[in-house]
Structure formats: C-alpha cells, structure tokens
A and B are shown apart, each in its own frame.
Chain A
Amino acid sequence: MSPRAKMILGRVAQAIPVILGVVVISFVLTRALPGDPAAYFAGPAADAESIAEIREALGLDKPLLQQFFYYVGDLARGELGTSLTTGQTVLADLAARLPASLELTLVALLLSCAIAIPLGVLAATRPGTWVDHLCRVLVTAGVSMPTFFTGIVLIYVFYYLTGLAPSPLGRLDFIYLSPPHVTGFYLIDAAVAGDFETWFGALKQLILPATTLALFTLAPIARMTRAAMLSALSSDFIRTARAAGLGSRKVLYGYAFRNALLPVVTTLGMVFSFTLGANVLVEKVFAWPGIGSYAVEALVVSDYAAVQGFVLAMALLFVVLNLIIDIAYALIDPRIGLN
C-alpha cells in the first residue's frame, strides 16, 4: 500500500474514537437537560400514572447505561427519535433544515475566502506598511463583532433605514414560492428550475446573514494567509527562485502562494466549525429556518431527541469535513505520510 493511502486509512481510523466520543457526549449532555420528557409527552392534563406509563414506553425508567445502549441501537438503525415540539421525526426535521444552514454557511465562507485570501496576500507582500496595518485592524474589527450584533446593525441600516434589503424573515420572501426540491439549496434549486426571479429573491435574503458570518470569519483566514505567505516568502527556496531569475508573478503565486495554501486549508476546517457555531446566533437574528434555530427552540423546551440529533449531526458533519480536508491536504502536499 502506498504511504499516502496508509495515511488516509489511518486518518479514517482516527475518526472512529472521535465519533464514539461524540455519541457519548451527546447522550450525556441531553440526559442532563432539565425537565422531564415523559411529562411533556403526556401533556398538561396527565396524571402521575400515565406519565409513568409513558416513561416506561420511552425506556426512561431503565438505568442510564441501559438507556445508552438503547440509544446506540437506535442510532445504528438510523433512528434519532421524534421531536416533542414539531411532532416529526428528528431525522426528517434535520433533513429539511440542514440545507438551509449549509447554504448560508458555505456562501458565507466563499464570500469570506474571496475577500480574506487576497487581503492576506496583500498584507504579506507589504509587511509593516500602512496597508498591512489597515488590513490587520479591519479584520480584527470584523472578528470582534458579535455576530448577533452585526446582524442587528445590518438589519437596522439596510432594512429599517434604507429599505435596500428584504425583511429579515427566513430564506425567501412570501411573495415567492420555494423552488422545487432538488438539493434543498435554494440558489441551486432555483437555478436548476430556471426560475431566476426566485433565485434573486433567495440571494437577496441570503446577503445580509452571509455578510454577517463572513465578517466574523475574515480574520482567521486573512491572518493565516498573511502568516503563511510571510513565512513562505522568507524561505530559502524563494531566494533560489529569485536568484534563478524567475518572474515576480511566478515566485509569488507559483512558489510562495502554493506553499502558503497548505496551512490555510487546515485553518478552513477550524473556521468552518466556528461558522457553524455562529450560525446558531445568526439564524436566530434572521429567523433563518436552519438547524441552528431549530436547536435553540429545542433547548429552551428540553426537547432532548431534537437536541441530541442536532448535536450529533453537527459533530458528524464536522468530523467528515475535517476528514475531507485532511485527505485533500494529503493529496496537495507530497510530503504527507512519508515523514
């Protein structure tokens, strides 16, 4: 087996204990939530006897360890239980809401990368100048803004004051119909359906929340780009390339930037996690029907199956994403797996 394949297999193997840990933590966390799900299910009119019955039916009277094994068994069958508040299975709820969150997160990340990476390169090629300082202050200001606050300010300015943005309520204004479901990503679905009016409608709704998230994630990406570029530019091999007469474009992009990209890719995984976390707040501010707002609602009423499902989904998503990043890294960097 090639060392690289071995490395990828090893990386997959490393993810297994993490997934087990995630399952345990999600179980423990949700069992510790206050409130009695049996009482909730039984409704306000139920007496003690019917609550006990429901508790037994839910398996909540069993010892914790046994409950855990039931839970793992359910998970293995792909069952996440039923949400108390929506009445749907958690899996169906998540499947319906995940695309909304992912669409928002990915658009925000793309926007952020498109701004932050050139900014980082710009700062790295002019270290110590006012351009560098300005970039630093700008991105630091971005990461210092609480996302829920940025969102509110943007709403105030672009919706209340100027009216440029549509009302901050969800993914699509009520005058449009949601596009036929293909991927669940409205931008993609509308484009597939050729309905560009809806496409623009969806984009307009997306701009403010995506900007809010992007502002928050500019800093880590821009700084890692700057640091990685600086370290690449001061490497010996850049001097070799210059001494061989290679053009400045080739030196900067062909040699320095490609080397600098590796640590930036690693940072992206971290930033993705940040963004998913921040999503919860942004979704609340913009009434975005994603899994973040779903989780907040579930937490408030101790809807443990929904919380459990959400935490698991988030963690698994992140584990898989990191796996993909690591594998991508192994494919970009020839050194991986050999030293």
Chain B
Amino acid sequence: MLSINNLSVAFKTRKGEVNAVRGISLNVAKGETLGIVGESGSGKSVTSYALMRILDAGGEIRTGDVTYSGIDLRAASEKDMRDIRGREISMIFQNPRAALNPIRRVGHQIEDVLIRHAQATRQDAKEKAIAALKAVKINDAAARYDAYPFELSGGMCQRIVIAIALACKPRLLIADEPTTGLDITTQKAVMDLVGDLAKARGMGMILITHDLGLASQYCDRIVVMKDGLIVEEDVPAQLFTNPQHAYTRKLVDATPRLGASLRTLLPPEARRPEPKLRVQSNPLLEVRDLVKTYPGKSGPVQAVKGISFDINAGQSLGLVGESGSGKSTTSEMIVRLQDPSSGNIIFDRQDIAATPSARFMRHPMRRDIQMVFQDATDSLNPRGTAAAAIAEPLARIDGMRGSKLSARVAELAELVGLPQPLLSRFPHQLSGGQKARVGIARAIALEPKLLILDEPTAALDVSIQAIVLNLLVDLRAQMGMSYLFVSHDLNVVRLLCDEVLVMKQGDIVDRGPTAQVMDTPSHPYTRALIEAAPQPPKSVAA
C-alpha cells in the first residue's frame, strides 16, 4: 500500500546540512503494522514527516520516491496532499495534550477534520464527532464533546488525538511515539485501542517508537533505524532471537526484560563479573507514618498518606508507582527538599524530619543523603561547567579548595567514567549520557550513605540506560551505599533493587522482595502494572 524507495531527507542548519535520513526503503502492506525502532537522532520521526510532507522549515526531501496506492506523494500538489492527509493517511503524536488546540472544544476539532474531508455536513457533524469519540471508547462521549483539552487526562487526550486521526477512516495510520509520557497502564490501554481499531478496520499502521519491547508486542514487522539508515528488518521474534546487525543486537541486549540480568544489558565485550553486594540487617533509614498534605482548590490534598518503610544499610529499595502516586513527594521529603506534614524520617537513629528543610543544608547529615535527579539536563546549571557541578558539594560542605578539590573532581570523573577533557564543558556541550554521569559524580562526591535515584534513566536512550544502570550497581558495591530507586519501569526496578514498594495514590499497596512481588504479585494493582509492561520475546543472545 505504501512504498518508500531510497528516501533521503536533509535539514539546513547553521552548521551546514544534516542528513537526517540517508536513503531508506520500506513497504507497508494493507492491514499490516510496521514498527520503526531507533534511538533519538535515528531519523525515524523525520521519515514519517517526510512522507506526509509536513517537515519543519529547513527540511527537504533530497532523493527517493514515496508511493501510496499508486500516488506519487513526492510529486503530488500541496492541495492533493491536504486531501490525503487525514483522509487516507493519518498521524498521531507524542505529548497528546500539546497536540490538541488548547482553546477549541475537542468535539469541534474532530468536526473540523470531518468537514474538511467532506465526511460530514454542518448538520450531522456533531453526531458524527460523537460517534468518533465513541469509537475510541470514550465514556460519556456526548459530554466529552464539549470538553477542552486541559480538562482531560493525558490518556484521554491521546484518545481524542486518535479520534481526530481516525475520524475519516484513513487506510494508513502513523503513530509517532504515541505513548511516550503516558503511564504504563494508560500506555497499554492506548496501544490496545489502536491495535484493535487497526485490526477491525483493516488499517495499515506504522508505529514509531524507541521501545523495542513495545514494538515487538504490537508490530507484525520491525525495521531498526540508526543514523538515518535502516540497519535491519525482520519479524519481532526473529529480531529478538537472532539479531543480525551488531546495532540490533546491542539494542536487543540493552532492552530490560524478563530473565535478563544487569550485565547482560551490555554488549558481550563490556560485560564484567557482577559485583558482590553486601546488605546488612540494621536499618539505615526508617520512615514512619509519613504524611504530606498540600492545600488544594477543594480542601487539602493528601499526596502521601502515612507510609512507613525501612531501608537497610547497603540495600537497594525500589519505589514504583505511576504519576500522582506520591513517589516523588516521598523521595523529596527523605532527601529533605520538602517538609513532611507529619511523621518521622529516622536516619542513622536520628529524626532528620525534625530539622526544617530550609535549614537542613547545615545539618551534619546533609552529606549522607544525596540525590540523582530525573532530568540530567535540568539538574545542571546551564552556566556552570561539569567540573563546577561536581565540585560544588565538596567546596560547600567539605570546604575543599584548590588543587585538592580539582584532584578529587578528577577522581570522581574517573569513577563514573567521564573522560577528563569533558570536565571543562558546559551542559549543552555534553550528551545525555555524559550529563547523567556528571549528575551521579556530584551526588556521590561526599560519599553519601543513602543515594536517592529519581528515575535517573527515564530520559536516556536504552543503550545509555544500560551503561548507567551498570555504573550504578558498581558504585553501590564499591562504596557500600544504600539506594532508594524511584521508577515507573518495573523491568528496570527488577534489575537494580533487592526489595520493592508499590505506591498508588499516596499509599503503599504492595511490598516485599523484588522477585517475590514481581513473579507472584499478590495485589491486583501490582499485577496490572506488570501485565501492562511490554514484555519482549526472550532472546537467545542473553
């Protein structure tokens, strides 16, 4: 139905031309779901924008043919393209809330498309828009018709985006990272919906994603892209069990999955023996009846509802939950960036919650509890170098100066595998993985006893994530630190944590040793989370 032949796309930038896509060919048959998988910068999204001819300014198709049902999309006039977009080929995007016009009722946004493609008249547009809402399984569709995007949840917004895309019953749907930023249970609901609709309507689909696991679950066939080229193309099972290209193999290895260990995420040549970890039986941190209440519009909102747990010295505890579960609030209270409304945080037999967070920087235990932040870019001062970031806690808390300080910074950089020349660079001159290393080096500079890791790999590509996770386990063994690992990704928690807590709406709903909680989940919510996580086929490469 769709065939792309030798497509290449270039962007004009100030550093000259960048070839985002360098001669790729692929086909999508009627009713088939094709996955395009790649890490950031692989050119996977650009490919789809190019075939829809909605490239950003400066982007241009250089060579190749795109043929859809016998129509040459590259040669088609802009007017013809507008008829094709939304009518024959539709697209859904990541970040669904931003993808909707914020000041137009969602029902009207669907009507705009229906009327544009003559699928509805002014008279029956509303009826048909509501039918489109029903088709994406929105409850109470007639009431939602009048809603504005900001009144709806992220998952609901994505359903609206899908309703817009499918309103005119196109024959090909391009889904560009449709679930990035959504919670894992919402992700499953959205993907199931799209999959079912595609099957029911015999619609072809291109699923663009960075998540090999997700692609393998929903696609008939997968192409793997790297640096603007297709490196491999196969059915999912084959791709996982017998990857041909070295890059695919690396990607398959690095995808966290059942049965994998931390070391097997790395390419074989980088695998060293697993470090020996010692967990002691004395508690380092005891959290008791911790409550956080925020003033809300309609009365106070309890973000954390009186939770209690322990972390033993040397232990790694996973804190799992979806957005709004209170896991970030909990970690911020423990690291003393926020004050709890009530409850105790007993660290090394001392209640540190008694010292207000505004004064905690002078507390002798400040050095013992540190944190690695979720977004490495955001956590580095744009106006400071990598060395300055790492040196900050040493200079402020230890009063270290001069050559001693720079020697220690160099030592820390070495420890986290950051090449020395990069120390003088500013954050915008570093890659995501390098910024993550700087953040880790800063957090361990004072040799804390407890390190809080707030989704430290959420923004990273999977191959970088594998390296960072391995670095974290090595550091833990080397320095005897305890971890509180906050994450939404169960597959990652399984790899890194001895015990796990599952939080939902401010409460701990499930807890226990990681293997036990994950393999034989007792709580229905835990089970739902585990089932929602995409599970790639077992690979033989491991």
Q: Is the CB of A244 within 8 A of B103?
A: no
Instruction: Determine whether A57 belongs to the interface, using a CB cutoff of 8 Å to chain B.
Output: no
In the complex, chain B residues whose CB is within 8 Å of the CB of A127: 57
Residue of A nearest to B95 (CB): A236
Chain B residue numbers with a CB within 8 Å of A255 are 101, 104
Closest 9 CB pairs of A and B: A245-B86, A245-B85, A244-B86, A236-B98, A243-B91, A240-B99, A334-B148, A236-B99, A244-B113
Select B116's contact among A237, A244, A258, beta carbons within 8 Å: A244
Q: Point out the residue from B57, B82, B98 that lies within 8 Å of A237, measured CB to CB.
A: B98
Residues of chain B at interface, number, CB under 8 A:
31
Task: For residue A245, give the distance in angstroms from its CB to the closest CB of chain B.
Answer: 3
Cβ of B152 within 8 Å of any chain A Cβ, yes or no, is: no
Contacts of A333 in B (CB 8 A): 103
Contact of A246 with B86 in the complex, beta carbons under 8 Å: yes
Specify which of A236, A244, A339 is in contact with B90 (CB 8 Å cutoff). Answer: A244
20 A-B residue pairs with Cβ-Cβ distance under 8 Å, sorted by A, are A127-B57, A236-B93, A236-B95, A239-B99, A240-B99, A242-B85, A243-B52, A243-B86, A243-B90, A243-B93, A243-B165, A244-B85, A244-B165, A246-B82, A246-B112, A246-B113, A247-B116, A255-B101, A334-B103, A335-B150
Q: Which residues of A contact B82 (CB under 8 A)?
A: 245-248
B319 at the interface (CB under 8 A from A): no
Interface centre among B98, B100, B101, by most chain A C-beta atoms within 10 angstroms, is B101
Given A236-B98, A334-B148, A335-B150, are A245 and B116 neighbors across the interface (CB < 8 Å)? yes
Contacts of B165 in A (CB 8 A): 243-244
- Name the residue of chain B whose CB is nearest to the CB of A127: B57
A231 within 8 A of B: no
* Chain B residues, Cβ within 8 Å of A335: 102-103, 148, 150
Digitize B502-519: 1 where CB-to-A-CB distance is under 8 Å, 0 elsewhere: 000000000000000000
Inter-chain contacts of A334 with B (CB < 8 A): 103, 148, 150
- Whether B140 sits at the interface, judged by CB under 8 Å, is no
Residues of A within 8 A of B151 (CB): 338
Task: Name the A residues within 8 Å of B113 (CB-CB).
Answer: 244-246
Is residue B84 within 8 Å, beta carbon to beta carbon, of the partner chain? yes
- A242–B164 Cα distance when bound, in Å, is 12
Query: Is B159 positioned at the interface, with any CB of A under 8 Å from its CB?
Result: no
Kindly state whether residue B126 has any CB partner on chain A within 8 Å. Answer: no
Does chain B have a CB within 8 A of A235? Answer: yes
For A322-339 the 0/1 string (1 means CB < 8 A from B) is 000000000011110011
* Other A-B pairs beyond A246-B86, A335-B102, A338-B151, 14, CB < 8 Å: A237-B100, A240-B91, A240-B101, A242-B85, A243-B91, A244-B86, A245-B83, A245-B86, A245-B116, A247-B116, A259-B101, A259-B103, A333-B103, A335-B103
Q: How far is the CA of A242 from the CA of B53 in the complex (A)?
A: 10
A241 & B103 in contact (Cβ 8 Å cutoff): no
B150→A338 contact, CB < 8 A: yes
Q: How many A-B residue pairs have CB under 8 A?
A: 83
Known: A334-B150, A335-B103. A244 touches B98 (CB 8 A): no
Cα separation A258 to B112 with both chains bound (whole Å) = 15
Chain A interface size range: 20 to 34
Instruction: Tell me whether B435 is interfacial, beta carbon within 8 Å.
Output: no
Pairwise interchain contact A339-B150, C-beta atoms closer than 8 A: yes
- Chain A 30-74 per-residue mask, 1 if CB under 8 angstroms from chain B, else 0: 000000000000000000000000000000000000000000000
B117 within 8 A of A: yes
Quick check: is A133 within 8 A (CB to CB) of the other chain? Answer: no
CB of B528 within 8 Å of the partner chain: no
Report chain B residues within 8 Å CB of A236: 93, 95, 98-99
Shortest Cβ gap from B315 to chain A (Å): 40
Chain B contacts for A258, CB-based, 8 A: 103-104
Q: Mark A224-242, 1 if CB is under 8 A from B, else 0.
A: 0000000000011101111
State which residues 124-175 of B face A: CB under 8 Å. Answer: 148, 150-151, 161, 164-165
Q: Is the CB of A237 within 8 A of B102?
A: yes
B147 nearest CB neighbor, chain A only: A334
B100 in complex: contacting residue of A240, A246, A248, A250, CB < 8 Å: A240
The residue that B54 contacts in the complex, of A237, A243, A254, A262, with Cβ under 8 A, is A243
Write the nearest CB–CB distance from B154 to chain A, whole angstroms: 13
Across the two chains, which residue of chain B brings its CB closest to A128?
A: B57
Within 8 A of A (CB), among B151-203: 151, 161, 164-165
CA distance A235 to B100 in the complex (A): 9
Pair A245/B87 contact, Cβ less than 8 Å: yes
Which A residue sits closest to B101, measured CB to CB?
Answer: A237
Task: State in angstroms the CA–CA spacing of A119 and B475 once bound together.
Answer: 59
Q: How far is the CB of B94 from chain A (nearest CB, A)?
A: 9
Q: How far is the CA of A70 from the CA of B115 in the complex (A)?
A: 66
Query: Bound state CA distance, A236 and B96, in angstroms?
Result: 9
B103 touches A332 (CB 8 A): yes
Tell me the complex Cα distance, A130–B181, Å.
40
Q: Using Cβ atoms and an 8 Å threshold, which residues of chain A touch B100?
A: 237, 240
Q: How far is it, in angstroms, between the C-alpha of A334 and the C-alpha of B104 when the chains are bound?
A: 8
B164 contacts across to A, CB distance below 8 A: 240, 244
Cα–Cα distance between A334 and B93 once the two chains are bound (Å): 23
Interfacial chain B residues near A239, Cβ < 8 Å: 54, 93, 99
How many angstroms from the CA of A79 to the CA of B452 in the assembled complex?
Answer: 67
> How long is the Cα–Cα vector from A243 to B45 in the complex, in angstroms?
13
In the assembly, what is the distance between CA of A127 and CA of B99, in Å?
23
- CB neighbours (8 Å) of B95 from chain A are 236
A332 contacts across to B, CB distance below 8 A: 103
Q: Smallest CB–CB gap between A331 and chain B, Å?
A: 11
Min C-beta distance of B82 to chain A, whole Å: 5
> A208 to chain B: closest CB distance in Å?
39
Contact status B98-A235, CB under 8 Å: yes
Most-contacted residue by chain B among A247, A259, A334, A338 (CB, 10 A): A334
A236 to B54, CA, bound (A): 12
How far is it, in angstroms, between the C-alpha of A334 and the C-alpha of B149 when the chains are bound?
Answer: 10
**Chain A contacts for B54, CB-based, 8 A:** 239, 242-243
- The docked-state distance in angstroms from the alpha carbon of A220 to that of B67 is 47
